A and B are shown apart, each in its own frame.
Chain A
Amino acid sequence: MNGKKLDIRNLMMNYALYIIMILMIGAIAVISPKFLSLRVLTDILTQSSTRILVALGCMFIIVSGSADLSGGRVVGLTAVVAGSLAQTSEYYIKFWPGLPEMPIIVPVLAAVLVGVLVGAFNGIAVAKLKVPAFLATLGTQMVVYGVNCLYFNKAPNNSQPLGGFLKSFSKLGTGNIGGVPYLVIIALGCAVAVWILQTKTCLGKEIFAVGGNPIAAKVSGINVFKILMITYMLAGALYGLAGCLEATRTGSASSSYGLSYELDAIASCIVGGCSAGGGVGTVGGVVFGVLIFNIINYGLTFIGLSSYWQFIVKGLIIIIAVAIDVRKYAGKD
Chain B
Amino acid sequence: MDQLDVILEMKEISKSFPGVKALDKVSLKVKEGTVHALMGENGAGKSTLMKCAFGIYHPDEGEIFVNGKNVHFADTKNAMDQGISMIHQELHPIRVRNVMENIWVGRIPYKKIGGVKWVDYKTMYDKTVQLFEHLGITINPREMVSNLSVSHCQLLEIARAVSYGAKVIIMDEPTSSLTETESELLFRIIRQLTAQKVAIIYISHKIEEVLMISDEITILRDGMLVGSWNSKEMNMDLIVKRMVGREMTNRFPQKNHKPGTVKMEAKNLTSPNPHSFKNVSFQVRKGEILGIGGLVGAQRTELMEAVFGLRKIAEGQIFIDGKEVTIHSPSEAIRHKMALLTEERRFTGIIPMLSVEDNIVIANQSAHKRAYTGGKLFLSKKKRAQDAKKYVDSFSIKTPGLKTQIQYLSGGNQQKALLGRWMLINPDLLILDEPTRGIDVGAKYEIYSLMEQMAAEGKSVIMISSEMPELMGMSDRIMVMCEGRLSGIIEGNEVTEERIMYLASMVEEARSDTEKGGLDTDER
Contacts and interface: CB of A to CB of B under 8 A. Distances in A.
B183 to A, nearest CB: 34
A202 B365 contact: yes
Contact of B372 (A202, A218, A221, A275): A202
B404 A221 contact: no
Interface string B363-394: 10111010011000111000000000000000
Given A2-B404, A209-B362, A221 B351 contact: no
A215 B348 contact: yes
Interface in A203-234: 205-206, 208-209, 212-213, 215-223
Interface in B330-344: 330-331, 333-334, 340, 342
A5 interface: no
Report which residue of B347, B352, B353 has the largest number of chain A beta carbons within 10 angstroms of its beta carbon.
B353
A196 interface: yes
B15 interface: no
Contact of A275 (B348, B349, B353): B353
A220 B363 contact: yes
Contacts of B145: none
B408 A219 contact: no
A234 to B, nearest CB: 15
A219 B379 contact: no
A275 B290 CA distance: 41
Given A202-B372, A202-B379, A215 B358 contact: no
Nearest to A204: B379
B351 to A, nearest CB: 4
Given A2-B408, A209-B358, A275-B353, A215 B373 contact: no
Given A219-B340, A221-B363, A213 B351 contact: yes
Contacts of B379: 200-202, 205
A221 B378 contact: no
A57 interface: no
Contact of B334 (A2, A196, A206, A221): A221
Nearest to A333: B407
Report which residue of A205, A213, A220, A223 has the largest number of chain B beta carbons within 10 angstroms of its beta carbon.
A220
Contact of A208 (B351, B369, B372): B351
A282 to B, nearest CB: 12
A280 B308 CA distance: 28
A28 B485 CA distance: 73
A2 B353 CA distance: 12
A332 interface: yes
A71 interface: no
Contacts of A213: 347-348, 350-352
A222 B369 CA distance: 12
A163 interface: no
B283 interface: no
B310 interface: yes
A205 B360 CA distance: 12
B362 A222 contact: yes
Contacts of B351: 208-209, 212-213, 216-217, 279
B354 interface: yes
A222 B330 CA distance: 8
Interface in B89-109: none
Contacts of B308: 219
A222 B334 CA distance: 10
Given A200-B378, A208-B358, A219 B373 contact: no
B378 A219 contact: no
Given A2-B408, A209-B362, A222-B366, A215 B347 contact: yes
B263 to A, nearest CB: 20
A217 B362 CA distance: 8
Nearest to A226: B331
B221 interface: no
Report which residue of A202, A218, A219, A222 has the largest number of chain B beta carbons within 10 angstroms of its beta carbon.
A219
B330 A218 contact: yes
Contacts of A222: 331, 362, 366
Interface string B306-344: 001010000000000000000001110110000010100
Contacts of B310: 218-219
Given A200-B377, A205-B379, A215-B347, A221 B367 contact: yes
A202 B361 CA distance: 11
A219 B349 contact: yes
A332 B32 CA distance: 49
Contact of A221 (B331, B342, B358, B373): B331
Interface in A1-19: 2
B421 interface: yes
Report which residue of B342, B366, B379 has the largest number of chain A beta carbons within 10 angstroms of its beta carbon.
B366
Contacts of A275: 353
Nearest to B422: A220
A219 B353 contact: no
Nearest to B332: A221
A220 B347 CA distance: 13
Interface in A170-203: 196, 200-202
A16 to B, nearest CB: 20
Given A201-B378, A202-B373, A219 B330 contact: yes
A209 B310 CA distance: 17
Nearest to A281: B353
Given A200-B379, A202-B379, A216 B349 contact: yes
A279 B354 contact: yes
Contacts of B369: 202
Report which residue of B329, B358, B362, B379 has the largest number of chain A beta carbons within 10 angstroms of its beta carbon.
B362
Report which residue of B347, B373, B377 has the largest number of chain A beta carbons within 10 angstroms of its beta carbon.
B377
A222 B329 CA distance: 9
A202 B366 contact: yes
A216 B353 contact: no
Nearest to B334: A221
Nearest to A199: B379
A217 B310 CA distance: 12
B354 A223 contact: no
Given A209-B358, A216-B348, A221 B353 contact: no
B297 to A, nearest CB: 21
B415 to A, nearest CB: 13
Contacts of A223: 329, 331
Given A205-B362, A221-B367, A222-B331, 17 more contacts: A2-B404, A201-B373, A201-B377, A202-B366, A206-B362, A206-B366, A212-B352, A213-B348, A213-B350, A216-B342, A216-B350, A216-B351, A218-B310, A219-B340, A219-B349, A220-B366, A220-B421
21 contacts: A2-B404, A196-B378, A200-B378, A201-B378, A202-B365, A202-B369, A202-B373, A202-B379, A209-B354, A212-B352, A212-B353, A213-B348, A213-B351, A216-B349, A219-B330, A219-B349, A220-B362, A220-B366, A221-B331, A222-B366, A279-B351
7 A-B pairs closest in CB distance: A212-B351, A220-B363, A221-B331, A221-B334, A200-B378, A213-B351, A215-B348
